[in-house]
Structures are given as structure tokens and as C-alpha cells.
Amino acid sequence: MQYLDNVIFLILLIAGFGLFGKSLLKIYRNIRLGREINRSDRKSERWETMARVAMGQSRMSARPVAGILHLFVYVGFVIINIELIEIIVDGIFGTHRFLATIFGHTFYNFFTATLEVLALLVIVGVVLFFIRRNFYGVKRLTMKELFGWPKNDANWILIIEFALMMAFFTMNSSDFILQQRGVLAAHGSFPISEMTLVPFLEIFSFDNIFLEIVERGAWWFHFIGILFFMNYLYYSKHLHIILAFPSTWYANLDLYGKFNNLESVTKEIKLMMDPNADPYAAPAEGAEEAPSKFGAEDVFDLNQVQLLNAYSCTECGRCTSVCPANVTGKKLSPRAILMKTRDRLEEVGRNIDKNGKFEDDGKKLLNDYISKEELWACTTCNACTQACPILLDPLSIIFEMRRFLVMEQSAAPQELNLMMTNVENNAAPWQYNQADRLNWAKD
Amino acid sequence: MDFTIKTMADYAAEGKSPEVLFWVGCAGSFDDRAKKITKAFCKILNKIGVEFAVLGQEESCTGDPAKRAGNEFVFQMMAMTNIEVLNAYEVKKIVTACPHCFNTLKNEYPSLGGNYEVIHHTQFLKELMNEGRLKIEGGSFKGKKITFHDPCYLGRANDEYEAPRMLLEKLDAELVEMKRCKTNGLCCGAGGAQMFKEPEKGKKDINVERTEEALSFEPKIIATGCPFCNTMLTDGVKHFNKNHEVEVKDIVELLAEAEDL
Ligand code: SF4
Ligand code: SF4
């Protein structure tokens, strides 16, 4: 029986990580439903971008208050990870504060003291975030598209993080008192606990047994909490704590103004313009097949980076708050474009889980999730991409869907059809004769 | 115009090639307001003796509005036609007063076989100024309040924020920045082919929102660097009935005015 703890611990650990691995695989599978896109160029620039933007949070400083608070919570996340190593080793081998034996006295004191300070900052961060999100009325955090799950999701995470940090302090405090009483070996230094929870606990003069139970209880709570948090990520916008890394690595490194040129179209036009080409010639052997359609109608037509973006979006709404269409009251919200893309992708994923492969469900990303009205309101100004703290690109999705509307369905607004006809026939978006192009010079 | 505008064909006939090709663009060729910008730019180039040419009848739309509306076919057709002409004249350097032409020529033509040094007119003028060829004395603008609206396709899309500001500073005016400027700039509402259609339903039009912000500083002049922004903001100023107090002018027009051209 004496190993019961360790066995339970191991089972939970394996189950927790196993489930999490399964979720990640599902996300990976769903992302791969998209078209392939080659983003393996400029590797050193990509590593540098990821380090700067995802690890260094370089874009968060654009909004200093949120930036600092986020930094606190982010650092807290890193603590959880370092601490998890100790928890796992202690849990499996039944040791207590295993890192102390490796780090040595002085350094372990320094280490635990630092964790305490960081944990306090996390608490400050989440409390202020909670107030800001729920009572302070930041517009981008209270918009209609967040009603329901997205809003609750954000709050849940703050509550979980608060509870985890409180468990951390409770654990340290009871441990400290037990260490003082000589029940446990003296390891670590706990400045914050000593100032706050320890004096509070001392008032009640709890006995050793009780404190041991509290210490273990907090330890288990902390451990299970982390496992829970990890598995919760899959359902949450908080996936960004993982996916921000690949998203920034695979980010578009070109200038914002440079939109991709469809190669399949280039081939066709070259053929059209080449007087020697045989229009009836069969495509050359081994020639790449043209994609079955132009632009995007559903998640399958988007590329894998766009789908990765949809999972990475943290729903912060920085994009939407600077979108000229959105600030003037149009239906378009770049954040909602990514949220809807993710919703549709998850629906497709569930469909595959159920049927083994995707069975047509009569729905599409276009119209069922994203309306034409939203798509046509975009000025392609790139304010959204510039604002996104993790370099997501909602505009590229809007643009691909416009391509589908125009090239596959000829469903552009009437005035745009006129403009396009003019460009085609008069080489100008207005109905002027190309021969008159130099008339201004004669006035 | 009180001097002749030469085309690439003219230069070719003389067996010469100009220093730079001025890409006029559709707005600059046909839109009455934008034509003034075109002329102002030509006057400045003429005054400092830059040998430049235009394509004239051989120029077509770059394809930008079609592309951003989603019509890759029409875009690439235009692009290939233009590239054929440009390559036939062995064009090396292109300057344009339209950020949309600028962006498309610079970023989207290379992969279709069109490789040129493409610069925006504000960048070109800055270059000329650094070389000492262009000298600006801002007499008549001294102390006047000017605010500059960043065109999305010059600023955010191509990271150029300084060239227009540098020129404006030479005017000795009082330059005020809007809250939404540079990387935070707000679109005028014309990009992405919006210029050619009615805006979607909303609380207000984007150009009204933008003009409101500009007007809140009570400037004498709203400076622009794009013919489309110019139209949108001019309409915005009219919307607020301020067109007798506030002028919307392209930077190049201000420079031409300073030079009394
Ligand atoms: S590019 Fe489109 S979606 Fe993005 S901010 Fe501009 S108008 Fe909004
Ligand atoms: S796309 Fe970027 S800026 Fe917009 S909500 Fe998602 S994470 Fe925030």
C-alpha cells in the first residue's frame, strides 16, 4: 500500500498527458485538411521572429497595460512548467523537493524565492485582467462576438490560474511551518508566503498532521490542476500559449502589401498570351495539376497556416479594434473571421471523428459561417495583421474567400463587376478610352 | 502644361532612355482631381531637370483593384501586358504618385517577370533632396497646421512612413500627427477596391471617420500621398462642410506651391 500515492500519481500523469497528446494530434490532423503551403524558406529569420514575437512578446508593448499584465501571467506559465519537473519527480519517486538536492542550498533558496515572486505577479495579473475584462468595459473585450463560451472561457482560465497560484502558496506556507517545526527537512526560501499566508496559518496553531494534509492537498490540487489546465486548452482560446510558437514561425514574412499571385492563373494566361502555344495541347506529363478551385469556399480550400492561425487566435480583438470596417459599424470583424474558421474546422473534425472520413454536411465556411457582406467590407488595409500580437493573418482568409466569390461564382457586387469589366476592356477601372490616357498632358 | 510630356516611345525614337519612368496610373490619368497631382509632380521634375517619361497610351491599369476584389485573372492579364511593355523598353526605375500602383509594381510584378526599382513619388523627391537637386523653401506654409494621412499601401503595406514626413517638414509648417498614424494609421476607406463600390451598411463611412479625426486638430491642410485617399478625404471634408477652411492636398502639390510652380 505504501506506493499507492505514487501509482495514482503515475496513472493520472499518463492519462493527463495521453489525453493532451490525443487533442494535439486531432488539431494536427485538422490543420492538415488544408492546402499545403511552403513556408520553410528563410529559416533563421523565422527562428528570430518566433523568439522575438512569441517568446519576447515584442508586439504586446503596443498596449502597455495589457502588455505588462500579460507578461506577468506568461512568466507564470513558464514557472508552472519548471515546477512541473519537480512535481513529476517527487510524485513518481516519493521524494520531497527533489530539485533541492540537485541545485544545492543557496541556489534552491534563490529558485523557490523567485517562483514565489513570480507567482505573486501572476495573481496580480489575473486579478487585474479579471476586473478589466468584466467590469472595466474595454470595448474589444465586451463585443457581441464574445458572448457565451468565448467570454466564459477567458474567465475560467483566469480563475484556474488564480486557484493554481493560491494552491502554490498554500503548499509553500504549510511546508514552511512544517520545516520550522523540524517535521520536514528545510529546503527553499518562501518570502511571499512568510509575509502573507504563514502568519495567517499560525494564528490557528494547527497541528502537524493537519498541516501535512494541507500541504499534500495543495500539492495534489496543484498537480491535478495543471493536468486539467493542459487538457482544457484544447477547448479554449488559450491554445495560443502553445500555437503562438508555430504560428509566428510560419508567419508571412513578406511586406504586408505583397499578396500572392496564383500560379495556376499565371500558367493559363501565359498560354493565352503566347501566340505559339497550342490551346488544345494536353498538359505536359508530370505537370502539377491545377487546384480544383480558385480561392476558398470551405476550410479545405484554406492553407494549413491559415488553419493553424484559426486555432492560435487568442480572441484578444486587437485586430478588430483597429479594423476600419469594424470601427465604423460594419459586420466585418477580423477576429470573428478566425473564430468562425475555427468553429467550422472543429465541426469538420467532429464529422470525421464520427464518420471516419468527412461526409458532406451541406455546410460551407462561406455563407454558413462567414457572410459575403463581411467579406466585401474589407479594405485590405492590413491594420488587422499589423495589430495581431502573434502575427496571425485574418486578411488572407478574407482575400481567398473573395477570390472564390469572384472567380468561381462571379458573385461580386454589381459595381465591382463593372469595374472589372472596365479594367479588362479599357485597361482602367473607369470607362475611359485607353487612347485618352495622355490627355491630361494637353490641358 | 507649358512643357511637353515625353513618352517612352518618344525617347526610344531618339535612341535615348530617360532617368526614370513616371507611372501615372488610372486615377492620375483620368480623375480630374488626381490629374492636378500628376501635373504638379511633372512640374517639379521638369523644374529640377529630371529626364522622365510616361507610357501614355501604352500604360494599362496595374490590375490592383481587380486583384484586391479577388479577380486574379484580370489582374494577371493586366500585369503581363504591362510587363511586356516595360520590358520591351528595358525600364529600370519607375516612380509613381499612387501607392496602389507602387505596391503592385513593386511587390506583385516580380514573380510574374517584372523586376524594376519602384519608388513612390515622396521617396523619389526625398532622394532628389538628399542629392541636393531639389531644394524646398516653405515660405507660404510657415506656421500653418498640416496633418498627414498615411496611405495604407505606402505605410503599413510597404513600411514607408518617413519620406512624406521629411518633405512636409521642409515646408516649415506645423506638422501635427493624428492619434492613428504610421503603423496605427486608419484606412481612408478606398483600398481593396472599395473605391469602386458603395460601402457596406454601418454606423458611418470610413472616410467620414477618418476625416473627423483629421479635422479634430483643426488643420489648415490635410496632406495626402495617394490619389484615392485624396478623393476620400476631400469628400469627408465636404461632408463636414469644411471645404472652405480646410484643404486636402497631395504632398507634391504642396511642394509645387511652395516653389510657386
Ligand atoms: S484588412 Fe480588412 S479585416 Fe483587416 S483591418 Fe483592414 S479592413 Fe479590417
Ligand atoms: S487575430 Fe490576432 S489580434 Fe485578432 S483576435 Fe486573434 S490573436 Fe487577437
pLDDT digit string, tens, across residues A255-294: 999 999 999 999 888 888 877 766 566 555 555 555 578 9
Q: Is A79 in the pocket of ligand 2 (CB under 6 A)?
A: no
CB-nearest to B187 from A261, A381, A404 is A381
pLDDT digits (tens, 9 = 90+) for A75-125: 887 877 788 889 999 999 989 999 999 999 999 999 999 999 999 999 999
Q: What is the mean pLDDT of residues A46-59?
A: 94
Chain B nearest C-alpha distance from A125 (Å):
26
Residue A75, pLDDT score: 86
Query: Which numbered atom of ligand 1 lies nearest the CA of A382?
Result: 1
Backbone phi, psi, residue B178, to 5°: -75, 160
Residue A281, pLDDT score: 61
Are B26 and A438 a contacting pair at CB < 8 A? no
CA distance A186 to A168: 17
CB-nearest to A257 from B30, B71, B157 is B157
Are A423 and B201 a contacting pair at CB < 8 A? no
In the predicted structure, residue B184 carries a pLDDT above the cut 80: yes
Residue B172, pLDDT score: 87
Are A416 and B69 a contacting pair at CB < 8 A? yes
**Chain B contact set for A327 (CB, 8 A):** 186, 209
Are B103 and A257 a contacting pair at CB < 8 A? yes
Q: Is A99 in the pocket of ligand 2 (CB under 6 A)?
A: no
Chain A nearest C-alpha distance from B142 (Å):
31
**Chain B contact set for A394 (CB, 8 A):** none
Query: Which numbered atom of ligand 2 lies nearest the CA of A320?
Result: 4
CA distance A412 to B66: 11
Q: How far is the CA of A3 from the centre of ligand 1 (A)?
A: 59
In the predicted structure, residue A2 carries a pLDDT above the cut 80: no
Q: Is A383 in the pocket of ligand 1 (CB under 6 A)?
A: yes
Are B189 and A379 a contacting pair at CB < 8 A? yes
pLDDT digits (tens, 9 = 90+) for B13-58: 999 999 999 999 999 999 999 999 999 999 999 999 999 999 999 9
When pLDDT is cut at 50, 70 and 90, the band that residue B99 belongs to is: very high
pLDDT digits (tens, 9 = 90+) for B130-171: 999 998 877 788 889 999 999 999 999 999 999 999 999 988
pLDDT digits (tens, 9 = 90+) for B202-218: 999 999 999 999 999 99
When pLDDT is cut at 50, 70 and 90, the band that residue A1 belongs to is: low
Q: Is A338 in the pocket of ligand 2 (CB under 6 A)?
A: yes
Stated pTM of the model: 0.93
Q: Is the dihedral of CA A131, A134, A135, A139 positive or negative?
A: positive
Q: Residue with C-alpha cell 495579473?
A: A125
